[in-house]
């Protein structure tokens, strides 16, 4: 009998596979050993996608499905992948508890608070890019919620993958912005769940800051436009 956790992971995997397929990648779900490059022969990845010289190894997991053994497996897999030029590892976490907010949480950050905290992220980026990326992600996520609210979008959920997909579908953010945000979100997940990654560079943080600032500018411009109309 298939457990609910496995169903959730598989559904997410199918969505990710379709997204990469639409971008022109060759997609292999649960590939057999003979279809894997030599450095992956000892592993059983959920998804491997390739396009030209670029390859991505993707694992979809729910927090409740992780134990010490699977955590070690993912850690070893990530290290193996990152040793090979052109390849990167992507961990996607799915969990119904992942985006259940504490009753202690107050209202979402607003524009002035986001702007002031961006400066903190910029200072962190030089010496602590991983910390800066986590901090920066919280700001872009708050900004995306503000944008969705401003656009009058009805959100069935507020988890980041759904929010970003919805904004991209509605044309509020571009396809390239969506892909960049998804890549950063993958890094954010890896860091937040205790995985080492060599992919956190200052550039990733600055890209995140740039998108956040551009979204804030669009919010401000739209607000000023409507103020003049009134």
pLDDT at residue 181, as a whole number: 92
In angstroms, the CA 55 to CA 25 distance is 9
- Using a 10 angstrom Cβ sphere, with 0-12 exposed, 13-18 middle and 19 or more buried, the burial of residue 59 is buried
In angstroms, the CA 97 to CA 204 distance is 27
Specify which of 68-77, 97-106, 124-133, 156-165 reaches the highest per-range mean pLDDT: 124-133
Average pLDDT over residues 162-183: 89
pLDDT at residue 147, as a whole number: 93
In angstroms, the CA 176 to CA 164 distance is 12
In angstroms, the CA 50 to CA 184 distance is 19
Go through the chain and tell me how many residues it has.
230
Tell me the pLDDT of the chain averaged across its residues: 83
- 6-32 per-position pLDDT tens digit: 556 777 888 889 999 999 999 999 888
Q: In the CATH scheme, what is the code of domain 111-222?
A: 1.20.120
Tell which wins on pLDDT, 147 or 161. 147
- 39-66 per-position pLDDT tens digit: 998 898 999 999 999 999 998 887 666 6
- Using a 10 angstrom Cβ sphere, with 0-12 exposed, 13-18 middle and 19 or more buried, the burial of residue 195 is middle
Place of tokens 């910029």: 122
Q: Would you kindly state where each structural domain of the chain is located, as residue ranges? A: 4-94, 111-222
Tell which wins on pLDDT, 72 or 148. 148
- Using a 10 angstrom Cβ sphere, with 0-12 exposed, 13-18 middle and 19 or more buried, the burial of residue 4 is exposed
Place of tokens 């961990």: 91
| Bridging pattern class, strands 87-93 and 26-29 | unpaired
Q: In the CATH scheme, what is the code of domain 4-94?
A: 3.40.1350.10
In angstroms, the CA 35 to CA 81 distance is 16
Q: Please determine, for residue 228, whether its predicted confidence score (pLDDT) is greater than 60.
A: no
- 93-149 per-position pLDDT tens digit: 765 444 444 444 456 789 999 999 999 999 999 999 999 999 999 999 999 999 998
Among residues 146, 127, 125, 126, which one has the least CA distance to residue 135? Answer: 125
Same topology between domain 4-94 and domain 111-222: no
pTM of the full predicted structure?
A: 0.59
């Amino acid at each position: 009998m298939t457990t609910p956790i496995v169903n959730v992971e598989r559904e997410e995997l199918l969505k990710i596979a379709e997204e990469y397929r639409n971008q022109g990648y060759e997609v292999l779900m649960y590939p057999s050993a003979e279809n894997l490059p030599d450095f992956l022969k000892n592993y059983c990845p959920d998804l491997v996608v390739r396009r030209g010289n670029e390859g991505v190894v993707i694992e979809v997991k729910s927090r409740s499905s992780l134990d010490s053994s699977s955590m070690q497996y993912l850690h070893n897999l990530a290290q193996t992948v990152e040793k090979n030029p052109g390849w990167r590892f992507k961990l996607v976490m799915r969990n119904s508890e992942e985006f259940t907010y504490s009753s202690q949480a107050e209202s979402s950050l607003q524009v002035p608070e986001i702007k002031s905290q961006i400066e903190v992220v910029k200072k962190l980026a030089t010496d602590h890019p991983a910390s800066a990326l986590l901090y920066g992600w919280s700001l872009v996520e708050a900004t995306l919620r503000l944008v969705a609210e401003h656009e009058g979008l009805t959100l069935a959920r507020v988890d980041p993958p759904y929010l970003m997909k919805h904004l991209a579908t509605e044309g509020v953010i571009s396809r390239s912005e969506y892909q960049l945000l998804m890549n950063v979100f993958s890094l954010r997940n890896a860091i937040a769940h205790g995985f080492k990654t060599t992919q956190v560079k200052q550039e990733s943080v600055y890209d995140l800051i740039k998108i956040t600032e551009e979204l804030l500018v669009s919010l401000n411009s739209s607000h000023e436009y409507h103020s003049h109309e009134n």
